[in-house]
Amino acid sequence: MDASRPVLTSASITRSSVPDQVFARLREAILTGAYRPGERLPPQRALAGDLGVNMSSVREALGRLEQLRLIEVRHGDGTRVLDWRRSGGLEALVLGAGAAGIGGADAALIGDLFEARRLLLVEAARLAAERHNPEQAAALVELAEAVASAADDSTALLADWAFMAALVEAAQNVVFQLILNSVRELYLPHAEAFAPLVAQRGELAELYRRAAVAVSDGDGDGAASAIGALADAQAALMLA
């Protein structure tokens, strides 16, 4: 065995959903730099041996990694690791932030994530004020109150996510919606790591209300201003 390459042990691989676990193990190794961009992955047989799984599980996992553009299969040159920051889509960003857990993710990556979050939500709020229907406006008002009155952080986090999702839906922009769908795959499995977003919900409650009312009134600038202030405050809490 080549002593210079990472060894993926089979200790925690179980028989249930084996391809999913192989995919997760290889994905984490790539995103955390155990396998570097440009590096050739071991042959499938070697990977199967390291992990104690069959070849078909490895092939399926590699296929999924290729779809995410984390690897590239080069005929005659094996399988090479790609630089996911250059080749990947939004899914790669989400996986990159989630691979080591939110708390252990690269600070610059988390900063970029919240910068993009602010830009998305501000423009969504502006569009929602122009395009919403009465039911969507009423839902935003109710969700703003749900965040403010939440009894604990877990309930508040779910209400915060529902508020932002309703805001994006009211914007009626399908690309914004698809972006949010991808971010959900990071947010919901790691919700507890985002507790700072709602840690000061009593102080931030008025910003949720202002945004909801501005959308209802068709005030795009007011909605964007309130959401921008809310996003800035939440980003500061997370990055602190």
Q: What does the pLDDT look like over 199-209, one tens digit per residue?
A: 999 999 999 99
142 located within any domain: yes
Distance, in Å, from the CA atom of 47 to the CA atom of 54, rounded to the nearest integer, reads 9
52 located within any domain: yes
27 shares its domain with 76: yes
pTM over 0.75: no
24 shares its domain with 109: no
84 shares its domain with 118: no
72 shares its domain with 162: no
33 shares its domain with 65: yes
| DSSP sequence for 167-224 | HHHHHT-HHHHHHHHHHHHHHGGGGGGGGGGGTTHHHHHHHHHHHHHHHHHT-HHHHH
Q: Which pLDDT belongs to residue 185?
A: 75
Cα 181 from chain centroid? 9
62 shares its domain with 124: no
What are the tens digits of pLDDT across the range 132-162? Answer: 999 999 999 999 999 999 999 999 999 999 9
The parent domain of residue 55 ranges over 18-88
What are the tens digits of pLDDT across the range 2-33? Answer: 556 666 765 555 555 899 899 989 988 888 88
Distance, in Å, from the CA atom of 39 to the CA atom of 52, rounded to the nearest integer, reads 22
Residue 198 confidence (pLDDT) above 90: yes
